[in-house]
Amino acid sequence: MDASRTPFPTLIMTGRLFLLLATLAIFHAAYSTYEHLSHLKALGRPGGSLPQSIILETLVGLVLGILGASLNAPELKEITWASEMQKHKIDEMDSRLGFASFVTRGRNILSSSSKSSAKEIQ
């Protein structure tokens, strides 16, 4: 699936296009129904059923709208701790700062004046 950061065309853009088309379809179907019913009322036989094309357009608008809304949503993230830990190192999440030791044995091992004392310790 396309990530939301890659340039045109992306899944989110498809979603927005579908939402736009669905909105247009719904409004067009609404206006068509209004016109059709006014037409029927003018002819003196109100209460007729809608033409098949309007019903189809409405349902297509509905399905396309829901599809577009679903595609428009950003990518979901997994909710378990285990999946989050796949992306981080342990030090980022639980650094245990109380156990951090800033005093190392480099002082004894690496300095020249204490090389003899280090040998004695061993």
Q: Under the rule (CB under 8 A), what is the footprint of another protein?
A: 1, 19, 22, 26, 29-30, 33-34, 37, 50, 54-55, 58-59, 61-63, 65-67, 69-74, 76-85, 90, 93-94
**Closer residue to another protein in complex, CB, 39/107:** 39
> What is the Cα–Cα distance from 5 to 14, expressed in whole angstroms?
14
> What is the Cα–Cα distance from 122 to 119, expressed in whole angstroms?
5
**Closer residue to another protein in complex, CB, 9/84:** 84
For the bound state, the minimum distance from the C-beta of residue 110 to another protein, rounded and expressed in Å, comes to 24
- Indicate the SS3 state at residue 36: helix
User: Minimal CA–CA distance to 16: which of 59, 67, 55?
Assistant: 67
